[in-house]
Amino acid sequence: MGSVAFGEAINEDSGSEKSLKEVSDEEPSIVNTSFITPSANTHHSSDPGFTDSFHDTGSNQPHHKKSDAAQRILFVTTEITDFVKVGGLGDVSSALPRALAAHHDVRVLIPAYREMIHSEYEIVPAGHVPAFAGLPACDIGRITCSDGLILYVLLCPELYDREGTPYGSGASGYGDGQGEGWVDNDIRFARLSRAAADIALGQADLDWQPQLLHLNDWACGLAPAYLHWQGHPVPTVFTIHNLAYQGLFNASRMAVLGVPEDAFHIDGVEYYGELSFMKAGINYASQVTTVSATYAQEITTPKFGCGLDGLLRCKAEQGRLSGIPNGIDDSWDPRTDSHLVQAFSCNDWRGKRANADYARRFFGLNPSQGPLFAVISRLVHQKGLDLTIEAAKAIVHGGGQIVFMGCGERHVEDALRQLSERFPGAISAYIGFDEYQARSLFAGSDFLLMPSRFEPCGLSQMYAQRFGSLPIAHRTGGLADTIEDGVTGFLFDDMQFESYMRAIQRAFAVYKSTDLFNAMRGAAMAGRYHWKQSIVPYSKLYRVALEQLGNETTLACQ
């Protein structure tokens, strides 16, 4: 590559220097992709909570308690950070039900993995679901978390009590690209979907029945399909966290999964000759959501639609596709986070320097006055690690250091190990994940490198900003929605090395301008992408789903 000048214009990509702007206080709303174009600040609020947005009809007083009319929501997932986490879905499943529980009766359904069976929590017998097609019968247990969140766990040891991740034994956690997904994943997650449908129909012997199912990603995709095939109009919301993972299985598996033959067509579950759990969820759910406004628009295009863009465009035209951003919870506060070696706040940078010194020591870097760059990510093609590896030499030669943390595709892991050996003391590769050290790295780093090829939402950029680390990211999906270029981070438009390097050059230039650097860090820390912002749009969406099926029940929170 050519030589790099680390002092170029701060906003070269935009063509002019951009001044810091006030953070928008606009209340988030459901984004219907058929007519709304999102802006970078659509969901950005400086208010950490949105409780004042909830009012009783005709009243000016905030609604602080769950009404008798609060909806009963079953949140169905394959991960929850309390017990087992592979990616962002685990964080979402832990935080979003808790945020919604302030105004709704939200309970979680999840397989009883080994981590749950051997946890400190008691599993109380709660119900039973019968066998169906080739899916075994199983019991349902109940776990009550310390804060009161209720989990229904699907007790089926032959399917879920095994060493590994929810999806397989691969290093990335997803069992993808290496043939290491569990061979019975179709049975495992069809069993989860069918259990959700049985619970919704009151056929699981529970003392509680939801009014609506909120289903997450391909593994839950058969749930609305099972309800449809039985002719039961139970409202369902299906959230796409990453369209690239679709749950594709051989069509010969339809009978054992209880999928009727007449559903195997273009308007059903058929996807290029295979059975797609993801397509089933999109086709049969009352409402489809994804986790950022920009990604909701992107997936209606051939570039990002993974072969489902036509179906998703149809859903958008019907007003059934929305983008609601993820958020972060209160634990991500540098003033109180117990993971940090020293607390800090905006304009109190001594604590941040202490965390930087700790991170350098822990990850084996030399003492340095230069910027510290972090990569905290799954090590897969989607995340653009190839571009960062290519940029590493220029970063080091410019006086920077890099810490990589994550696991994933073996060839990426090997490339990072080789990179750290090539630049000892300047580059460190930590293959694996450690929550404690990850938080310390967010707190100690100056910049987060996140050149994702696509990013449905992304949480790392939110964590980084909250801890005063400025993200350098591709302008796509949730990254475009949560990073304000030149204000709270740096965005580049083309997924090309030269465009990425220009963003990195801008970051170096800002780092050398102490006042501007501190102003940007302060702006990033002031931005609050909190889960509480999601209560209003999800509540509205639940109401829409209920009304679509003729349910006259109204939401407690208008």
Q: Which of 412, 450, 447, 444 is nearest to 431 (CA)?
A: 412
Task: Give yes or no for residue 26 having a pLDDT over 50.
Answer: no
SS3 content of the chain, % helix, strand, coil (to 5): 35, 20, 45
Task: Answer yes or no: is 85 a known binding residue.
Answer: yes
Query: Which amino acid, residue 72?
Result: R
Q: What is the mean pLDDT of residues 302-327?
A: 96
Q: Report H helices in 34-104.
A: 88-100
User: Do the bridges between strand 274-276 and strand 248-250 make them parallel or antiparallel, or are there none, so unpaired?
Assistant: antiparallel
Q: What is the mean pLDDT of residues 154-172?
A: 88
User: 3-class SS at 520?
Assistant: helix
pTM of the model: 0.84
Query: Which amino acid, residue 70?
Result: A
pLDDT at site 173: 58
pLDDT at site 550: 65
Within 13 Å and on the Cβ side, how many CA atoms surround 112?
22
What proportion of the chain, given as a percentage, has pLDDT over 90?
78
pLDDT at site 538: 95
Q: What is the mean pLDDT of residues 313-336?
A: 94
User: 3-class SS at 226?
Assistant: helix
Q: What is the mean pLDDT of residues 51-75?
A: 49
pLDDT at site 69: 52
Taking the mean position of all CA atoms in its chain, how far away is CA 67? 29
Buried b (16+ CB within 10 A) or exposed e, 317-333: eeebbbbbbbbbbeebb
Q: Which of 202, 193, 198, 245 is nearest to 221 (CA)?
A: 193
Q: What is the mean pLDDT of residues 522-537?
A: 89
Q: What is the mean pLDDT of residues 361-374?
A: 98
Q: Which of 487, 479, 482 is nearest to 522 (CA)?
A: 487
Selected residue with higher pLDDT from 281 and 180: 281
Q: What is the mean pLDDT of residues 525-545?
A: 90
CB 209 within 8 A of CB 72: yes
The predicted-structure confidence for 374-403, as pLDDT tens digits, reads as follows 999 999 999 999 999 999 999 999 999 999
User: 3-class SS at 315?
Assistant: helix
Task: Give yes or no for residue 503 having a pLDDT over 60.
Answer: yes
Return the CATH number of the domain spanning residue range 38-328+533-548: 3.40.50.2000
The Cα–Cα gap between 47 and 63 comes to 17
Within 13 Å and on the Cβ side, how many CA atoms surround 262?
2
pLDDT band (50, 70, 90) for residue 146:
very high
pLDDT at site 528: 74
pLDDT at site 296: 97
Average pLDDT, the chain: 86
Residues with Cβ within 8 Å of residue 526, at least 6 apart in sequence:
23, 46, 346
Q: What is the mean pLDDT of residues 100-120?
A: 96
The predicted-structure confidence for 219-246, as pLDDT tens digits, reads as follows 999 999 999 999 988 999 999 999 999 9
Q: Which of 546, 447, 451, 431 is nearest to 497 (CA)?
A: 451
pLDDT at site 209: 97
For CATH 3.40.50.2000, the residue range(s) in the chain are 7-29+331-529, 38-328+533-548
Specify the range with the lowest mean pLDDT, choosing from 11-25, 158-172, 192-206, 457-471: 11-25
CB 115 within 8 A of CB 84: yes
Look up tokens 């489809």; give the residue. Answer: 288
pLDDT at site 175: 52
pLDDT at site 530: 85
Task: Give yes or no for residue 41 having a pLDDT over 60.
Answer: no
Look up tokens 């220029």; give the residue. Answer: 394
Q: Which one of 3.40.50.2300, 3.40.50.9100, 3.40.80.10, 3.40.50.2000 gives the CATH number of domain 7-29+331-529?
A: 3.40.50.2000
pLDDT band (50, 70, 90) for residue 154:
very high
User: 3-class SS at 206?
Assistant: coil
Specify the range with the lowest mean pLDDT, choosing from 117-131, 229-243, 389-403, 536-550: 536-550
E strands in 397-518: 401-406, 427-431, 447-450, 470-474, 490-492
Q: What is the mean pLDDT of residues 280-292?
A: 97
Q: Which of 278, 281, 219 is nearest to 246 (CA)?
A: 278
Instruction: State the DSSP code for 303.
Output: T
The predicted-structure confidence for 417-450, as pLDDT tens digits, reads as follows 999 999 999 999 999 989 899 999 999 999 999 9
Q: What is the DSSP string of 108-150?
A: EEEE--HHHHTSSS--EEEEEE--BTTBPPEEEEEEE-TTS-E
CB 545 within 8 A of CB 235: yes
CB 274 within 8 A of CB 268: no
Specify the range with the lowest mean pLDDT, choosing from 44-48, 132-136, 199-203, 481-485: 44-48
The phi, psi pair for 426, rounded to 5°, reads -115, -30
Selected residue with higher pLDDT from 233 and 344: 344
Write a three-state SS string for 462-509. HHHHHCCCEEEEECCHHHHHHCCECCCEEEECCCCHHHHHHHHHHHHH
Q: Which tokens hold the place of 292?
A: 């950022």
